[in-house]
Structures are given as C-alpha cells and as structure tokens.
Structure 1
Amino acid sequence: MTLALVLFIAVVVFVWRAVKVVPQQSAFVRERLGRYHDTLTPGLTVIIPFIDRIAYRHNLREIPLDVPSQVCITRDNTQLKVDGILYFQVTDPQRASYGSSDYVLAITQLAQTTLRSVIGRMELDKTFEERDEINRAVVAALDEAAFNWGVKVLRYEIKDLVPPQDILQAMQAQITAEREKRALIAASEGRKQEQINLATGAREAAIQQSEGEMQAAINLSQGEKLAAINKAQGEAEALRLVAAATGDAIERVARAIGSEGGLEAVNFKVAEQYVAAFGQLARENNTLILPANVADVGGLVATALKVVRSADANARA
C-alpha cells in the first residue's frame, strides 16, 4: 500500500513536471541539460522532467515602461527635468533570454542616456517645440541597440518637461509681454480700421450729398425750363387769343357800321368819346392840349367820320 502510494505520488510529480501549458501571447524558453533547446509556443507541451526545464518566461504583449525622470542640460546650458514613458515588445525570446542579463534595465538606461544626448543638442525653446523629433530620435537609437536583446522599441513619449523656477518665471513674463504686445497691436489695428471706416463713410456721404445736390439742380433747372416754356406758350396763346378777339371785335364793328343806322351810331360814339377825353384832360392835368380851333368841334367830328367812311368803303371793296 505504501509502495503504491509512493508510485502514485511519483507519477503525479512526473506528470506535473512533464506537462506544461503555455498561455496565449507568451513564450517559454526550454533548456535541456543547461543548454538552450527550443522556445515553447502557446498550448500544451510535454517536456522531459529533470532533463528539461523552463528557464525563461516572456510576455509577448506590448509593455509600457516608465523611464525615471532625470535632469538634462540643453545647448544653452539650461537644466531641464525630463520624464518619459517607453513602449516595447519582446520579439525574439531566445535573444531576450541570452542577449542581456536584464533587458528592461538596459532599455531604461539607454533611453535616459539617449535622451540626454538629444536634448543636449537643442536649445531650451526648441525642446518644447520639437517633442516629436526627440521621441523619434530616442526610438531610433533604442531600436537599433535593442535588436540584440530580442526587443522591439515601439515608441517613446515625453510626459513632462520642467525647467527651473526662474526660467519658468522668465518664460511667463515673456508670454505676458507677448500677449500685451498683441493686444496693443490689435487695439491699434482696430483704431486704424475705425478711422478708415469713418473716412470712407464721410467720403461716401459727401459723394452722395453732391450727387443729390447735382440731381436736385438738374431737376430744378429742368423745372424752370419747363416753367419758362409753359409761360412762353401761355403768353403766346394769350396774345393769339387777344389778337383773335381784337380781330373778331373789329370784324363785328365793321359789320355793325355797314348795317342800317351803323354810321349814325359811330358818329354819336366818336363825338361822345371826344368830349369825354377833353373833359378828363381838364380834370387830371394842369396843362391842356387844345386844337387850334376849339370851337370847331363839328369839323373835328366830320373829319373823324370821313375817316370812318373811307375805312368802311375799303372794307366793302
């Protein structure tokens, strides 16, 4: 019974040491009698107990590595505290096992020295502007060296750049001055644009006013011209109407003279107007204009009638 139990325990131990399960995204390095034999891939694998052993276990996933912060000196002799993070992946388990005693420490130290070298070639202002360039330079240097360690450096990112406190204050003062300068420039540009807009508005207003005055003068002159034309046409029409009326009156007088009793009426009218005219002159003027023979009123009337008869005869002829 004791022997069977011992055999059972021995079998269990043998199976336990012989059967190995490799997880996904992992690699086990097997040594046989102290020498590298092969690399076990994910899955169930049987090894020879006491002859084979799993010497190294590697994680094949991407691994983030925090690079300790360090003080770097820039090209213009300014101290700069730099903190970064590194991402790498084991690509060759055999090299990762035998290429370096501690590839994580090796990568960390190489990242720090490379970063100091890259920043030492830059001025302080450039270190803030050229972060991507710094990251690429560190990755290129690490990737070349890490090949012998079976490691692939994927990327490096600077987490923080901290200059000394006095440099920070100087930078803050510079930024404040630059912002004040931009504010003054913006204000002056605004005033300049305002003056330009006011001048442009005044010019356009003057142009509009002059154009309006010119149009008003044109309309006024045209109105005066039309008024003068209308007045002239009205006066001409009035003269034509007066002439027509006068002609009509003369024609009617001529017809009246030629009718029965017309001549006697003319004689009476002429004598009446003659006497009235002399009476009016006597009332309104101190000086009288009298004919040579004042008493011969009948002769004057006869002379006037003779003129009337002559005009009537010419009209009938």
Structure 2
Amino acid sequence: MSGINLIDLFNFAVWGILFLAIVVQLFRSIRIVSTRTALIVERLGKYQATLGPGFHVLMPFIDVVTATQDLREETIDVPPQECFSKDEVKVEVDGVIYMSVSDPVKATYGVTDYRFAAMQLAQTTTRSVIGTLDLDKTFEERDMISQAVVDTLNRAGQGWGVHVHRYEIKNIKPPATVQDAMEKQVNAEREKRAILAGAEGDKQSRISTSEGTMRELINLSEGERQRLINEAEGRAAEILALAGATAASIEKIGGALVQEGGEQAIKLKLSEKLIGNIEHLADRDTSVIFPANLTDMDQLLQALGLRIEEKST
C-alpha cells in the first residue's frame, strides 16, 4: 500500500512539474515589446521573425527569443590609444562613438559584438589618419579625423546592421616635453603678435601726428594766403577809392573852369595856397628861388605854387 502511494506521489509530482513547465512556457510565449526595441525569434534554431513594438504570442517550446536589440542611439567610449603622427610624435587619443542599430537581424547575425567591433575599427582608423598628419595638424583637423572614422564605420556598418551618426575626439595628448615646447611656441607667437601690434600702433601714431602737422601747416599757409589776399584787396580798394576821388575832383575843377569866372576863382585859390605855402617855407630853414618878375602872377603860380602843391600832395 505504501509502495502504491509512493508511485502515485511520484506520478503526481511528474505531472505537476510538466504542468508547471507548460504554464511557464505559455507565459513565456507571450511577449510585449516596447517602442524602439526589436526581438529576434528563432524556430528550432533557425531565424523566424523580428518582433517589433506591440503584443506577440510565440509557439511554446518551438519559438525562442535569442536576442533583444535596442534601436535607440547609444554612445560607445573609445579608450585612449597611442598614435604616431607623420612627424613621429607619439600622442594619446580617445573619443566617443554615437551609433544606433538600423537592422536588428544583421546586428544579431552579422557580427559577434558590433559595439566591440565598432570600437576597434574606430581606433585603427584614427591611428591611420593621424599617421598622415603632422602634430600641429592633428589639433586643427579634428573634424576631418572624425569624418574619416564615421565614413569607415558606416561602410562596415552596412554588414553589421548599425549606423554611426558621428564620432567625436575627446582628447589629443602629446608627451609632456612636446606640450612644454608647444606652450613655449605659443607664448613666442603671442609675444611676436604683441610686438607687431605695438609697432603697428606706433606707426599709425606717427602717421597720424605727421598728418596733423601737415594739415596744421596747410591751414596756416591758407590763412596767411587769405590774409595777403585780403590786404591786397584792401589796398586795391583804397587805390580805387583815391583814384575815384581824384577823378571826381578833377572833374569838378574842369567843370568850374568852363563856368563864368571859374578861371579867376581858381587863380585866386591858387594864390591863397601859394601865399600859405610861402608862409610855411618861412618857418623852415629852406632856400627858395623866386622868378625875377614877381608881378607876373601866371608865371609865379606856374613856377612856385604848382610845384609846392605837387610836393604837398
């Protein structure tokens, strides 16, 4: 009786385990896939399907999910590595890859580990590109190096089912001795630019000063020229005014001579002036010679009066 009970218990346990396995497998056959995720399903060891986002039911004991691929963009750190530039200077370079899975099937079956493969290919490509550049160019051509790595990874990624969006170089570290030499070179270039800037400033200052002096001299000469012109115009105006007054006086005298009694009036005026001039001559230590015939007024006026008038004018 006890033997029968043990057999029944054993059978019950076996059937219980089988039932539990079936239940577990049924639950495992139900898959809910989230967004930007893909499941690779194999049936009896052969690729069957790629499950996208949503609710899916697999065939128990036959279908197996062998891989889960995340389709979101991810970053992969490329560890530092030693590279030699064209001028045989050792530098240490590291970077980061931004990539995503574009084909889950190829990412599963095309390469064992696409992350490790991409990292290794990025390192070898970086070494190759830096080997074609001088040390100074490696700092200037970061974009070119990054683009070369991206192009190489994308060509290989077509078979790996991945797409590389960009590659960024984080650090390029030359040896300490080279860093010191580069710093000294930078300081020398900076001092050189400062000296050139100072010389250029002094040059501009001298040019500005000379231009200011030249403009000052030009202004002074223009002012002197204008002053002389004004003085000449003033003298010319004075001469014209005197000439105009003299012409008017002569015209008046001529008009007086043609009038009745005008000639006698002129002679009388000249006689008065003659007598006045003789009085003035008497006050001076001057010798005067008169004509012999003082009764001839016309001759006397002609000889003395008119000459005195010329001297007085």
Match of 2:123 among 112, 118, 121: 112
Q: Which structure 2 residues correspond to residues 218-233 of structure 1 after superposition, within 5 A? A: 218-233=229-244
Q: 2:82 is matched with which residue?
A: 71
Match of 1:121 among 116, 119, 132: 132
Percentage identity across paired residues of the two chains: 43
CA distance in structure 2 between the partners assigned to 1:210 and 1:221 by the alignment: 16
Q: 1:150 is matched with which residue?
A: 161
Q: 2:214 is matched with which residue?
A: 203
CA distance in structure 1 between the partners assigned to 2:79 and 2:178 by the alignment: 23
Question: For the structure 1 residues 225 and 57, does the alpha-carbon distance in structure 2 shift closer, same or farther, using more than 3 Å as the test?
Answer: same
Of residues 68-77 and 194-203 in structure 1, the stretch that sits farther from structure 2 once superposed is 194-203
Q: 2:302 is matched with which residue?
A: none
Match of 2:151 among 113, 123, 140: 140
Q: 1:166 is matched with which residue?
A: 177
Would you say the 8 A contact 2:257–2:263 is kept in 1?
no
Q: 1:89 is matched with which residue?
A: 100
Q: CA RMSD in A?
A: 3.3
CA distance in structure 1 between the partners assigned to 2:44 and 2:248 by the alignment: 145
Q: 1:22 is matched with which residue?
A: 33
CA distance in structure 2 between the partners assigned to 1:15 and 1:68 by the alignment: 44
Question: For the structure 1 residues 29 and 228, does the alpha-carbon distance in structure 2 shift closer, same or farther, using more than 3 Å as the test?
Answer: same
CA distance in structure 1 between the partners assigned to 2:157 and 2:247 by the alignment: 119
Residue 173 of structure 1 deviates from its aligned partner by 1.2
1:38 matches 2:49 = yes
Question: For the structure 1 residues 229 and 33, does the alpha-carbon distance in structure 2 shift closer, same or farther, using more than 3 Å as the test?
Answer: same
Aligned residues: 260
Q: Which structure 2 residues correspond to residues 171-186 of structure 1 after superposition, within 5 A? A: 171-186=182-197
CA distance in structure 2 between the partners assigned to 1:190 and 1:73 by the alignment: 43
CA distance in structure 2 between the partners assigned to 1:233 and 1:152 by the alignment: 107
CA distance in structure 2 between the partners assigned to 1:152 and 1:202 by the alignment: 71
Q: 2:113 is matched with which residue?
A: 102
Residue 226 of structure 1 deviates from its aligned partner by 1.3
Q: 1:269 is matched with which residue?
A: none
CA distance in structure 2 between the partners assigned to 1:253 and 1:102 by the alignment: 145
Q: 1:47 is matched with which residue?
A: 58
CA distance in structure 2 between the partners assigned to 1:235 and 1:202 by the alignment: 49
CA distance in structure 2 between the partners assigned to 1:253 and 1:89 by the alignment: 135
Residue 213 of structure 1 deviates from its aligned partner by 1.7
Residue 248 of structure 1 deviates from its aligned partner by 8.1
The list of structure 1 runs, each at least 4 consecutive aligned residues, that deviate by more than 3 angstroms after superposition, is 5-12, 235-254
Tell me the amino acid that sits aligned with residue 116 of structure 1: R
Structure 1 unmatched ranges of 5 or more: 255-276, 292-300, 305-317
TM-score where L is the length of structure 2: 0.73
Residue 153 of structure 1 deviates from its aligned partner by 1.8
SS at match of 2:66: strand
CA distance in structure 2 between the partners assigned to 1:10 and 1:66 by the alignment: 42
Q: 1:60 is matched with which residue?
A: 71
